[in-house]
Structure 1
């Protein structure tokens, strides 16, 4: 690298190439969605914490999924809203690397949590008599702690590999947040090692977990079809269907983004996919779990009933 090249200390996020008036409309719409994401996931987390009937391994995993979804939104959406209002406002190099690190960490953690949730459903349906032994609280806490640790460690590997690269210009990232592939395009050095590690991570954290989820649900489907009771079969399908919806949305969009062949206009299409992956998925998850899960709806009704009784001053039934 030549000595007269200036190292980059900040980036400009180009965001969406649209009319400024449309930016204002998008800012209002995305602000509404952002609020709904935080309220929805916060409600799910609060219900699980407050309702003792939801103190089970499945809802323990779901509470961590809600935390990850809120963290996803808080990591990318505020910066995106700021850029919609002021496209020329830069983000510091340290802030960009932090955003990349957190996005990758939460993505890895969500992948692993979805695998844990599918394994939990597999044990509950295929080995119900041994469920409390296999999915003990000690095991659940260990699995969740391992997921968080692996997620942050894998993200740290990616960021360390980025930090070894020189960035000497240009300083414009063609994205609405510091997405790792978009950042690598600005590096003034060979990024083949970074891309190999990203591909290996995709195989390890996307393809591998997805295969485990599919294997779990194959066993679950076989077990459900053996259930004689129509009511029991319906309850089992209902319990698993919401999780399958989340798995399909998350893994489908992630694999298309990182492993599908690039099209003629990859950058603009990838922005839309990332918008769905990092914004709409966290917003839809609480909606899916609340509308398709009778226990969550029951917990919400009990919480609202308790709140209304306390406001009116009526005694609660024992």
Structure 2
């Protein structure tokens, strides 16, 4: 007897046809109810192959999402933004549109209601001449009309608006928006994490457009926010340092910013006992090209380790790597003796 023909949906848990609307793509309600608990955050990795014929969503745990996000951020620093090289049909006219994926980093309850208002504000900013009063009126409306009783939800709304305004400031040459964000939005963020994320965004854009005094101010507040963590929360402290280093490592910095970064990193490098975290400080210093300081701290850690420590091999490899990393070009005051033989080489 011939095998019964398999129905098209036998291999799938769910199958349906959906349509993209002006506000985006929404998963069917029955699928959301089957897969998700509304009280839990769900993370996905979104993939579009080169053929652009499908969208793949891969479930991730929160920890996996954080790791993947960091990798993507580093990659984006070296590659153009999605759609950045696309052109309008009219010759020489760059395609202008909001980057929703960059703005809505964290989903929140009223996103679908807020997005059309933010979209209309974006295009007011894009007008020539710019319709600043109208655009800002829409931004202010979105900030006051969709608040909830939940501080975290409000913080996510504020952060999304900040991301949009920073993009507008950069794309449409509106640097004064940076001051407005800092004065009018940032103080209202009642989430320590998102407050810091907002300051990091302001720090990055200020460095990019060379508003160094503002960048120094934002760095001061970021470091203060890090210091406000109790020393029992070293994980949060070092996660903050990690985010900070990733934001500034590839951007030109002022001497004052370098001094602030060096002093704060060395303060934590000498003020904690955990060697794993001390080694992270060495790596942060190395990422920021403070090679001499990284080398000296690594040597101090190495000298303080007991002979049977499991970290001996790790720190020895770091010391050797830093020892051969060029730092003396244009730095005649370097105190590392490159003609000397390293302790490990003598063994």
Structure with higher RCO (Cα < 8 A, 6+ apart): 1
Q: What TM-score bracket applies, with the shorter chain setting the length? A: under 0.3
TM-score, length basis structure 1? 0.26
Where is the helix percentage greater, Structure 1 or Structure 2? 1
TM-score, length basis structure 2? 0.24
